[in-house]
Amino acid sequence: MAEAHPVGFQWVMEAKRRGAKVFHVDPRFTRTSAVADSYLPIRAGTDIALLGGVVRYILDNELDFREYVLSYTNAATIVSEEFSDTEDGDGFFSGFDPETGTYVQDSWQYEGNEGSSGSGHTAKERDSASGLEHESHGAQIDGDTPRDETLQHPRCVYQILKRHFARYTPEMVERVCGIPQDKFLELAEAWTRNSGRERTGMLIYSVGWTQHSVGVQYIRTGAIIQLLLGNMGRPGGGVMALRGHASIQGSTDIPTLFNLLPGYLPMPHHADHPTFDEWVDSIRHPGQKGFWGNAGSFAASLLKAYWGDAATPENDYCYGYLPRLTGDHGTYQQVLNMIDGKIKGYFLLGQNPAVGSAHGRAQRLGMANLDWLVVRDLFMIESATFWQNGPEVATGEIVPKECRTEVFFLPAASHVEKEGTFTQTQRLLQWREKAVEPPGDARSELWFFYHLGRKLREKLADSPLPRDRALLDLTWDYPTHGPQAEPSAEAVLREINGYDVATGRPLSSFAEARADGSTAIGCWIYTGVYADGVNQAARRKSRHEQDWVAAEWGWAWPANRRILYNRASADPDGNPWSERKRYVWWDAEKSEWTGYDVPDFEKTKPPSYQPPPGASGTEGIAGDDPFIMQGDGKGWLYAPSGVLDGPLPTHYEPVESPVRNPLYGQQANPTRKMYAHPVNSVNPSPPEQHSQVFPYVFTVSRLTEHHTAGAMSRTVSPLAELQPEMFVEVSPELAVERGLAHLGWAHLVSGRAVIEAKVLVTDRLTPLRVENRLIHQVWLPYHFGFEGLVTGDSANDLFGISLDPNVLIQESKVGTCDVRPGRRPTGPALLDLVADYQRRAGINPGHNAPAVTTDSEGKEHGAS
Amino acid sequence: MGLRTFIEGWPVYRQLTGTDPLGRGAAAKSDGSRALTARTEDADSVARSVCPYCAVGCGQRVFVKDGQVSQIEGDPDSPISRGRLCPKGSASKSLVTSPLRQTTVRYRRPYSTQWEDLELDTALDMIADRMLAAREQTWEDVDTQGRPLNRTLGFSSLGGATLDNEENYLIKKLFTAMGALQIENQARI
Ligand code: SF4
């Protein structure tokens, strides 16, 4: 965090000054480790084993915050007797379908709900990355569930959790992660001590955690610990995700993502959502509890914002205009389709996949096989010049005179040359004022897309084709101003906020959303950002003039709430858990919730409220159910649906690992998304043969002085000067083993690529003892490419393409490689070297090893 | 100048006897540095902004002189950053004023070995034509069972996390209305 989010890290240091104990877990010793109280080096890709060890420590010693756990989580809920655990299935839960490599979730449900909730078969959900839909709400579940408040029932969640993690002992943590037991126990002891009425603990991760084939389950394990310790919805608690771009949160909420519409509404699927009603019912699940019951209003209001007068209740608000998913249309599938010639055009909007995405060669080969490419950026990036300067030009794989891709480079406006909002990592929207005009042809994306849309509509104005109606009926009449006819960003923000159709009055809260066409809302979770016609994101009341919650600085979704689920900061009776941790509480005199933040609960619903039998929607949420977006109002220790690779996190080895999974016969996540394409390959891992060809683990991350794929830092002289060269960090032990000289050159080889880097021999990396052998890890920054003031080979070229099944994010924080002294070969010799490694490792590009591990006797696990 | 004034003029004397023993403030000032004014003082205007790099969202004040960015500083009012910026945020002025920035449209013809110039409006027109052509060639009305698809998989878009919410909104809205599904951004990587 000190490296990649330095200014945010001041708050960790502030907490430390006030007595907090800081633990840092990382494969590499960093600036964060240097100021932490304790540093735990970890083998990359084994975090579930470490965190699972903490869960076991809590449960074995009964250190959970029992009052919180009983009232606010699903610990007492009883699970179906059809459920069987990975502990009994050698790494498989019940319901695995080897045919599709996904689970049927019926047996994971709460008792009595086996057929009536959950998603059943999840193969389609994996292809549409539907896990992402749960960012604003939990997966659906029937609220009326059998419970055992004594937590003794063998099938209650608490007992299931206990059995599931029973083997995650300190010894096992040491064996899997390479973390010495005393270090682990120090962490577990300190974490559990900061729990209860008086104390909280916080878990912070950066999005490298998501870049694993089990990334979502990493975060689930963290959430389980935080729920068991009563650290959710309380000040000083929580799971804090440090995201990597200025508005990556915003571009997920208002998604430029294939599977979502604004506010986490799913993009319709051709088979599952043929009609508006079926689409809405798939979101709200009629009869179930929770705030998601209003989905119909959010959906109708979005379509109303898109299609205005044309959208009527009679025509289902133009639902028919929406394009339909048929499967996986994610960025990696797209790149493979580009290589296969199926995609003609490509827009790159401030993103540089030639450097920033996994398997850089595949990215560049894909772009070299397009009809046209539009690059909008501040700088001439690698993704615009691959046809001229890319590594494949050197190897002869791309010949400029034979490359047909037509490239348009359009300069973009910088953040000071336009106005608008970013949503930062805590869901806080901050409006930026425009300082100066953009230079020359540089324009904002707002300008580009508004005027592009205008032109497209002009060109189609006389079209009789039904398919063009969606474009022609679109509301696209934003006011413009200034010499360049810049569209008004405030007008767009007002549409995002939503308004009353009849009067144009901006809405103040998403509770005002209606399903009858009387409201239009561009993104329902952002309703309120333009309440009273005031741009609330532009608020800049100084921190010196308000309390520490700083509610009048910018605006946070939803409803300017700074801590989600903050009903949990009070005890079941509505009183603060303690004076120290007072945040939101029930004011009995006024009969309402009050506090320092906007209460995340119906304002006047008393703590004693019990829903009448059969109640659904918000009515079904009891006065002491803080997790109001969940179908049962509870925090989920066990997730009966919504997570595709299991109701509980399980340690699987990374897709590429030098180590056999010490816990299960199943080696890697059996539900991971794999692509059998000739350009793609996976290095062998045990029990497959030849894993020793790639004996070392490599991981990548950020330098303080560079930003992502380097377009905004390798082009900026002070930053380029601070970190001028691509390098690889290796331990002194590995340097001896491989004959690497400090400040000399090394090259790294995977089944996809070979890259070179300067060698930094440092004890920031240390060999780890895992399963009685020494595992060497090397570390690389991923910022370098072949354009800019400072250049170098791209670390992401080393990775292949294997994805997490929930969100289709690639495993690009861990892989295996070989490390050799000296510079890499150039030209065709480079391809020969990779081919030689592939041959020695038995890699047959285009053919994946089966997802289900075949052990040495050839016996297949799971699928029982 | 008397001897006393002369001695008191020595920075080291002031450092040892004054309130600035580390010599980082008043003690280190000379007549020359005293006469300097900060770039922020004579700015024509100040815009309240946000750092464009990571998602911490540090507050920035952008100082403008003669229509140019003259300085970018941390915003001391921000409850997030309290006036601080890291090396990247501090380099924001160098980012927006970098001589490497492209400020004109560049165009590479198919099979060409070089870039050429192109008018912005012409580029916009050519791009619109190519989108419509790709859409026409790849349009899918219905699936094999006659269920609606209403889409094109003929072109894709990548990127959004460095852009404004308002921009992402228009991108998604326009592409969706064209039936273009393959819209992705950095959140997927
Ligand atoms: S100044 Fe640094 S920490 Fe703050 S937002 Fe910018 S990059 Fe992030």
pLDDT by residue (tens digit) across A186-224?
A: 999 999 999 999 999 999 999 999 999 999 999 999 999
Q: Are strands A592-595 and A584-587 parallel, antiparallel or unpaired?
A: antiparallel
pLDDT tens-digit readout, A440-492: 999 999 999 999 999 999 999 999 999 999 999 999 999 999 999 999 999 99
CB contact under 8 A, A379 and B101: yes
ipTM, 2 dp:
0.96
pLDDT, position B32: 77
Question: How many angstroms separate the alpha carbon of residue B90 from the centre of ligand 1?
Answer: 8
CA of A244 relative to ligand 1 center, distance in Å: 10
Give the tokens for residue A18.
């006030």
- In sequence order, the 6+-apart residues with CB closer than 8 A to the CB of B78 are A543, A553, B58, B59
CA distance B129 to A469: 18
What percentage of chain A reaches a pLDDT higher than 90?
Answer: 90
Confidence band (pLDDT; 50, 70, 90) for A130?
A: confident
Cα→Cα distances A706→A531, A729, A786, A812, Å: 38, 17, 15, 18
Regarding pTM above 0.90, the answer is yes
d(CA A454, CA A452): 5
Residue A860 has pLDDT above 50, yes or no: no
Place of tokens 């016969």: A665
Q: Residue A418 carries which side chain, given as an amino acid letter?
A: K
Chain B, residues 5-44, CB within 8 A of chain A, namely none
Which whole number is the average pLDDT over A403-412? Answer: 98
Query: Between the CA of residue A480 and those of A420, A571, A762, what are the distances in Å?
Result: 14, 52, 56
- Closest atom of ligand 1 to CA, residue B54: 8
- Is the pLDDT score of A856 beyond 70? no
What's the residue count for chain B? 189
Name which of A129-138, B29-38, B114-123, B160-169 the model is least confident about: A129-138
Within chain B, which residue ranges are assigned CATH 2.20.25.90? Answer: 45-96
Q: Do A255 and B185 count as a contact with CB atoms less than 8 A apart?
A: yes
DSSP state of B53: S
pLDDT per residue as tens digits for the range A297-331: 999 999 999 999 999 999 999 999 999 999 999 99
**B128 contacts in A (CB within 8 Å)?**
452, 455-456, 459
* Protein residue closest via CA to atom 4 of ligand 1: B58
Who's near B161: CB < 8 A, 6+ residues apart? A244, A245, A246, A247, A248, A250, A251, A350, A351, B185, B186, B187
> Would you give the DSSP letter of residue A617?
B
Residues framing ligand 1 (Cβ under 6 A): A 5-8; B 51, 53-54, 56-58, 81, 85-86, 88-89
Specify the pLDDT at position A12: 98
Chain B residue numbers touching A334 (CB-CB < 8 A): 156, 182, 184
C-alpha A735/C-alpha A723 separation (Å) is: 22
Beta-bridge partners for A746: A757, A821
**A412-428 as b/e: b if 16+ CB within 10 A:** bbbbbbbbbbbbbbbbb
CATH T-level assignment (fold) for domain B45-96 = N-terminal domain of TfIIb (2.20.25)
Note the pLDDT of residue A732: 98
pLDDT above 70 (res A138): no
Distance, CA A5 to ligand 1 centroid (Å)? Answer: 6
Q: Could you tell me which of A864, A681, A863 has the C-alpha nearest to residue A102?
A: A863
For residue B4, pLDDT over 90 is answered with: no
Residues 6+ apart with CB under 8 A from B36: none
A746 Rama class: left (phi>0) / alpha (psi -120 to 50) / beta: beta
Of B47, B62, B102, the CB nearest to A379: B102
Q: Which token pair is A662? A: 């010490």
d(CA A247, CA A619): 35
What is the mean pLDDT of the segment spanning A242-256?
Answer: 97
| Percentage helix, strand, coil for chain B under 3-state DSSP, each rounded to 5 | 35, 20, 45
Model confidence band, residue A618 (pLDDT cutoffs 50, 70, 90)? confident
Determine the distance separating the centroid of ligand 1 and the alpha carbon of B92, expressed in angstroms: 10
**Closest C-alpha among A133, A140, A93, A88 to residue A268:** A133
How would you classify the pairing of strands B116-117 and B106-108?
antiparallel
Structure tokens belonging to residue A288? 């179930």
Show the tokens assigned to A87. 């502990």
Measured between CA atoms, the residue of chain A closest to residue B184 is A257
* pLDDT at residue A749 tops 50: yes
Q: Any idea which residue has 């990127």 for tokens?
A: B159
- C-alpha distances (whole Å) from A696 to each of A716, A731, A779, A794 are 34, 12, 11, 18
For residue A370, give the 3-state DSSP assignment. coil
pLDDT for the residue numbered A758: 98
SS3 for B68? strand
**Cβ atoms within 10 Å, residue A111:** 18
* A423 bridge partner residues: A429
Contact A402 B111 (CB under 8 A): yes
Find out whether B159 and A348 touch, Cβ atoms under 8 Å: yes
Of all residues in chain B, what percent carry a pLDDT higher than 70? Answer: 94
User: Is pLDDT of A859 > 60?
Assistant: no
Q: What is the CA radius of gyration of chain B?
A: 28
* Architecture category of domain A673-841 in CATH: Beta Barrel (2.40)
Average pLDDT rounded to a whole number, residues B22-33: 73
Shortest distance between the Cα of B42 and any Cα of chain A, in A, equals 15
Answer yes or no: is pLDDT of A14 > 90: yes
Residue of A149, A160, A166 lying closest to A79 (CA atoms): A160
Query: A817 is written with which tokens?
Result: 């490689």
